[in-house]
Amino acid sequence: MNALAHQRLFERTASALPPAEEIDRALRDAAPAEIVATALRIVGREHLALVSSFGTESAALLKVMTDVDPAIPVIFLDTGWLFEETLAYRDTLIATLGLCDVRSIKPSEATLSREDPDRELWFSDPDACCRIRKVEPLARALKPFRGWINGRKRFQGGLRAAMPVVEQDGERLKFNPFANVSRQQIEAIYAAANLPPHPLAAKGFLSVGCMPCTSRTSPDEETRAGRWRGRPKTECGIHTVKMA
């Protein structure tokens, strides 16, 4: 982004956030670190969070973030159905990267008791299961923030193939610093920083979510083919439902 574009964006942030389309135009070809740094400046230090699944590629974005500011809060949705390996990987990355504000968010116990007392909702109605375990808890967790960062990539395909770098998400700005990043670039970040892999990556899981809805992926499949296998569902909802 050139200096004049920077100045114009920041002159307007005192009272209101600039339009997402304008920031997206300015950051369309920017490197991930510049996108994170710009998000921090536009939204403000107290009002920006990063949402991470601590999945197979998550360490790359967390590394970029810590290089910019390790104090950015990291929101982690602990659905109650995660692999033990993912919980261990979260703790490994907290120690490895020096993450200082990871917030593990759980679903409401009252909602679970009311809507999924037998823990079978993932099978009978996965959209409802994702709503009570991911979408609603994230909406609550994001209430204090005016902007959030996430790690989706266009190469993951589906609805992600055409996403912008910056978009409006209800009243918030949503930053996608890895929108343009390739799998090879992510591997390069892991290699350069000697980042530990997710424990399930070596066991054939290219993408890791909740246990009942995650399966191994063969080399000729897309990254997220193992998620909700055999169902039309491809997204949990946190990126398709506007956060209130």
Rounded distance between C-alpha atoms, residue 147 and residue 50, angstroms? 9
Question: Contact with ligand SF4 (CB under 6 A): which of 133, 172, 198, 224?
Answer: 133
Residue 166, strand partner residues:
175
Return the number of the residue (83 or 155) whose C-beta is nearest ligand SF4: 83
Interface of this chain with ligand SF4, residues 66 to 95, rule: CB under 6 A: 79, 81
| Cα Rg, the chain, nearest whole Å | 18
Structure tokens at 85: 């390996």
Helix (H, G, I), strand (E, B) or coil at 214: strand
The distance of closest approach from Cβ of residue 101 to ligand SF4 in the complex, given in angstroms and rounded to an integer, is: 24
The distance of closest approach from Cβ of residue 237 to ligand SF4 in the complex, given in angstroms and rounded to an integer, is: 8
Question: Contact with ligand SF4 (CB under 6 A): which of 42, 72, 195, 213?
Answer: 213
Helix (H, G, I), strand (E, B) or coil at 166: strand
Q: Which amino acid is at 72?
A: I
Return the number of the residue (122 or 148) whose C-beta is nearest ligand SF4: 122
The distance of closest approach from Cβ of residue 171 to ligand SF4 in the complex, given in angstroms and rounded to an integer, is: 25
Find the helix or strand (DSSP H, E) in which 24 lies. Answer: helix 20-27
Rounded distance between C-alpha atoms, residue 92 and residue 1, angstroms? 35
Interface of this chain with ligand SF4, residues 98 to 127, rule: CB under 6 A: 122, 126
Under the binding rule (CB under 6 A), the answer on residue 241 touching ligand SF4 is: no
The distance of closest approach from Cβ of residue 11 to ligand SF4 in the complex, given in angstroms and rounded to an integer, is: 42
List CB contacts of 196: < 8 A, sequence separation 6 or more: 59, 89, 92, 93, 96
Active site residue 236: yes
Rounded distance between C-alpha atoms, residue 33 and residue 149, angstroms? 12
Largest CA distance in the chain: 57
Residue 50, strand partner residues:
74, 149
From 47-55, 84-92, 130-138, 171-179, span contacting ligand SF4 (CB under 6 A): 130-138
Residue whose pair of structure tokens reads 């899981």 in the numeric block:
205
Question: Contact with ligand SF4 (CB under 6 A): which of 55, 73, 164, 209?
Answer: 209
Question: Contact with ligand SF4 (CB under 6 A): which of 212, 215, 225, 229?
Answer: 212
Return the number of the residue (129 or 149) whose C-beta is nearest ligand SF4: 129
The distance of closest approach from Cβ of residue 138 to ligand SF4 in the complex, given in angstroms and rounded to an integer, is: 11
Residue 188 Cα to chain centre, angstroms: 20
Residue 77, strand partner residues:
105
From 21-29, 155-163, 179-187, 205-213, span contacting ligand SF4 (CB under 6 A): 205-213
* Total residues in contact with ligand SF4, by rule CB under 6 A: 13
Residue nearest to ligand SF4 (CB): 210
Catalytically annotated residues: 236
